[in-house]
Structure 1
Amino acid sequence: MEGDRVPVRPVLEDVGRVNTLFALEVEPPGPGWVCVDEAAGGEVAGARQVLPAEVERVRAQLAALSASPGRAVEWRVAASLLHQGMATRILSPVLAAALCHGVLLDAARFRWDPHREGPLVLRTSQETAAAVTGGGVRAADLVEEAVVLGVLRTLERVLSGPGRVAPGLLRGNTASALAGAVRSLGADRPERRTEAEALVGNLLERPSLAGTGGYTGVDATGAGVFRRTTCCLYYRLPGGGYCGDCALRS
């Protein structure tokens, strides 16, 4: 069970050192900042436009990188890559906090500024977090409930609307984000690698992520090699290719 409360700021200062994808600011949200549930659910004024606007932002960035007209980048490709980026940014600090410090971050309170200039920055006003006891299986339970079936499922409902992105593809993005976060964490903190990969393996066997992919072996460093069963659609970008874990790789 979860009981004691743990200060969040020292935890995030530590896990943020893994790399920038694990960074989460501990500050009150600024004017206009929205959380994932608000953005997908339209619970505040103008929130229903937030995710479509984020997709268009990604679409414009991808077009600029490939020196292509904006419409050359399909909406569903930009939506998929936005989802995978958000999944990675949300899952990374949650996983690291659970595995390295035994605390559960409240992903529903993660916010970002839809009117920003520059890269996405996530922020939370959470000051304390519940201590997680019960080992890796309990940590997997909490990550699944709060993130996989929580904030990320909320995102999926919006992005997989009629004619948009296949729900199975988005579930594959979540699996890929999990494996990528664990790979980064294991590279920075090798003593956590086995435990972290076991947690992902546990999640991949659950109905929420079943059939999305799995570990196929280890690489030269001993890290697990993950292969997904779907494609994030990156290959459909002008000049794009296949990601390292793509199902389309031979």
Structure 2
Amino acid sequence: MGRINMLFRLEREAPGPRWRALDGSGASERVIAAEVDRVRAQLAAMSGQGPEDVEWRVAASILHQGLATRLLSPVLAAGLCHGVLLDAARFHHDPGREGPVVLRTDQEYAETAPVGELADWVEETVVAGVMGRIAHVLPKVGRVAPGLLRGNTAAALAGSVRALGADRPSVRPAAEELARTLLARPPLSGTGGYTGTDAEGLAVFRRTTCCLYYRLPGYGMCGDCALRP
């Protein structure tokens, strides 16, 4: 799965003693606050600013969408390409790492399931599960709108589906149908939808909220931004 791109990568090596699960215990306010600070510093360095010049909510939003993409990508690929169910709550990360998030899993056995059951699994374990818990913690750390976070998860879903469909055309129809199913359900309903297809035949997603990326000096709007004309 990691051959698609690095966002799909999931290491099978056992998590080390410093590693924490991305479930309730791994999404504490302290850990989330540290992750936001890390992203804030990275964004500041890229834009030639000090961390204090980067709005906290911008860093929080970008962290949230990045985590959603990292969790959804391997789960979707495993289910759509191999018919197995990965549990995102079993994914671990190293809070003391240097560089981007690396995920490992302690899941030794994965249930098999038909593609028709994958939407329920993704909703339960990722959208309402791990990402729901992270979205519950983030507003306790700082000011960030719940609707924005829901939109981030929707955009991450669409982005993961697009990358998977581009690399594995055979699963593209099932992947896009799964996304449509999840986007119509209450956790993500109203956050955006598909507006057509592009020149490559890939579905084009437009969200109804903004991730705030444009508020960084020198950065523009994302391709799916609600603020685009």
With the shorter chain as reference, the TM-score category is over 0.9
Runs of 4+ in 1 over 4 A off after TM superposition: none
> Aligned residues, how many?
228
In structure 2, the residue matched to 1:118 is 99
Q: 1:95 aligns with which of 76, 98, 101?
A: 76
Q: 1:145 aligns with which of 115, 121, 124?
A: 124
In structure 2, the residue matched to 1:27 is 13
Q: Secondary structure at the match of 1:225?
A: strand
Q: Are the equivalent residues in 2 in contact too, given 1:172–1:213 (CA < 8 A)? A: yes
1:206 aligns with 2:185: yes
1:77 aligns with 2:64: no
Q: Secondary structure at the match of 1:104?
A: coil
Q: Share of identical aligned residues, percent?
A: 67
Unaligned runs of 5+ in 2: none
Moved more, 23-32 or 212-221: 23-32
> For residue 104 of structure 1, what is the amino acid of its counterpart?
L
In structure 2, the residue matched to 1:160 is 139
Q: Secondary structure at the match of 1:130?
A: coil
The 5 A counterparts of 1:29-48 are 29-37=15-23, 38-40=25-27, 42=28, 48=29
Could you say what the CA RMSD is over the residues aligned between the two structures, in angstroms?
1.1
Distance 1:81 1:209 in 2: 18
Q: Secondary structure at the match of 1:183?
A: helix
TM-score (norm 1): 0.89
1:170 aligns with 2:170: no
Q: Are the equivalent residues in 2 in contact too, given 1:173–1:232 (CA < 8 A)? A: yes
Distance 1:77 1:158 in 2: 16
Q: Are the equivalent residues in 2 in contact too, given 1:25–1:123 (CA < 8 A)? A: yes
Q: Secondary structure at the match of 1:215?
A: strand
In structure 2, the residue matched to 1:247 is 226
Q: Secondary structure at the match of 1:55?
A: helix
Q: Secondary structure at the match of 1:26?
A: coil
Q: Secondary structure at the match of 1:242?
A: coil
Q: Are the equivalent residues in 1 in contact too, given 2:33–2:141 (CA < 8 A)? A: no
Q: 2:89 aligns with which of 100, 108, 112?
A: 108
Distance 1:118 1:86 in 2: 14
Q: Are the equivalent residues in 2 in contact too, given 1:59–1:78 (CA < 8 A)? A: yes
Distance 2:53 2:141 in 1: 21
> For residue 135 of structure 2, what is the amino acid of its counterpart?
E
Q: 2:2 aligns with which of 9, 16, 23?
A: 16
What's the offset of the Cα at 1:163? 5.2
Unaligned runs of 5+ in 1: 1-14, 43-47
> For residue 22 of structure 1, what is the amino acid of its counterpart?
F
In structure 2, the residue matched to 1:3 is none
What's the offset of the Cα at 1:56? 0.2
Distance 2:43 2:213 in 1: 10
In structure 1, the residue matched to 2:204 is 225
Q: Are the equivalent residues in 2 in contact too, given 1:36–1:154 (CA < 8 A)? A: no
What's the offset of the Cα at 1:161? 3.0
What's the offset of the Cα at 1:162? 7.5
